[in-house]
Chain A
Amino acid sequence: MIAYASRYYDKLLSATLEHLEIVVITLLISLALAAVLTVACSYSKTLSRFLLNLFSMIYSIPSLALLALLIPVTGLGRKTAIVALVIYNQYLLLRNFLAGLDGVDRGVVEAATGMGMTHMQLLWKVQVPLAKGALIAGLRIALVSTVGIATIAASINAGGLGSILFDGLRTMNVAKILWGSLLSAVLAILIDRLLLLVERRGSKRHSL
């Protein structure tokens, strides 16, 4: 296994970077979309219920099946993988974001409304900062799930660590299988830890 890594370290490295790239692009698009949807949902309970039901339905589709369903629309490759990952993330992000905003102390929200904050002021000055912990928690779940599901996207030629894993499966090369899964697990854990740090720093300030 070590021998494989020392011979093909450049291949492992480039696969890891490719993987990371998919994750980062997915994350940015997911966040932007989830932010817009969250704001829209804060105006309408009906919309919020509808979207949550829709995304939870899609979330229950196995990833291989969803990727296959998307191939006729967006073709093979990275684009399709990112589209699928973004859709999956919407369920995780939207659900956690809305629950976080909803969990902000009712008295604080009432006071803010009563003193004449507009809906957007209430959202950005009060609800979002107070729900920061829940928002970052949602982000962590989405990121870890993205790192995991992105390996499966290699099945439609999206590249990344999944390609090493699937190569290994095809050729029964244990070193490849192990490196593929090990690296994606390490990546997930590292990203998760990083966000945990951010979360802790954010929540420390007002807790006393």
Chain B
Amino acid sequence: MNTAIEFRDVTKTFKGANYSAVDHVSLTVNEGEFVTILGSSGCGKTTLLKMINRLYEPDSGSIILFGEDIATVDVVKVRRRIGYVIQQIGLFPHYTVGENIATVPKLLGWDKAKIALRVDELLDLVGLEPKEFRDRYPAQLSGGQQQRIGLARALAIDPKIMLMDEPFGAIDSITREKLQDELLTLHREMGKTILFVTHDIEEAFKLGDRVIIMNEGKILQFDTPEAIIRQPADPFVQSLVDSAKVKEAFWREYL
């Protein structure tokens, strides 16, 4: 199996902080894997993610994408190879849905016909009728629809790697469930390598082929959901799994 993403002893400390946001992390993600990163706020999971598209630069260590050290590649080029979806979505309010999706293809100078075709294809892919949505503005869409566009925009030039930073964090739970299922289907069909940050344990275990559990900048466990549930590697992981079980028990009382 090909290695898509590799961290080699990566450390990042923010100015003025007396601990490392990411602390000597080494890990390997295979091509086509769906990996979720789970941890509470401030554990370094977003920092870990943002170093991959160089929104943050590591203080030491190196990050390798498909055999290439990203520190040696032009930062704009690195980012254009990676799809990026964030919780705030960040659609451009002055662009229509179609123009939003077409952003990167336009930057790359695709011709108009090809872009139009791609926009419609992507809208279909994320389950929105092209004719109806193409010319709307983001403010005319619901939160769930906006994040579908965010996803379509990130997929526009068919990147091999997708980084998703709590993409469904601000979306109501019914829509979130649906989006999770659709993302799983998309992943099965397209075989992209996905890194997905979340603080929701159910989401992490449902989506991830493997789950990274982080605390205080360190990776506590990086394994399949089953292995983590069966054999928590450390008391923190144990407490996470327990908290999910308590929640489960709460619902069972009412069923």
Contact = CB atoms under 8 A, between A and B. Distances in A.
Interface of A: 105-118, 121, 125-126, 129-130, 205-208
Contacts of A205: 94
B103 A115 contact: yes
3 closest A-B pairs by beta carbon, nearest first, are A107-B88, A111-B90, A116-B79
B232 to A, nearest CB: 33
Contacts of A112: 90, 92, 103
Contacts of A126: 92
B55, B77, B84, most chain A CB atoms within 10 A = B84
Interface string B93-104: 110000000011
B221 interface: no
B19 to A, nearest CB: 24
Given A108-B92, A206-B139, A115 B153 contact: yes
A130 B79 contact: no
Interface string B120-143: 000000000000000001011000
B53, B91, B94, most chain A CB atoms within 10 A = B94
Interface residues of B, number: 27
B243 to A, nearest CB: 29
Interface of B: 53, 55, 76-80, 84, 86-94, 103-104, 107, 137, 139-140, 150, 153-154, 163
Contacts, number: 71
A60 to B, nearest CB: 33
A47 B159 CA distance: 37
12 contacts: A107-B88, A110-B55, A110-B86, A111-B88, A114-B84, A115-B79, A116-B78, A116-B107, A118-B76, A126-B92, A130-B92, A208-B139
A183 to B, nearest CB: 39
Given A110-B55, A206-B137, A116 B80 contact: yes
Contacts of B90: 105, 107-112
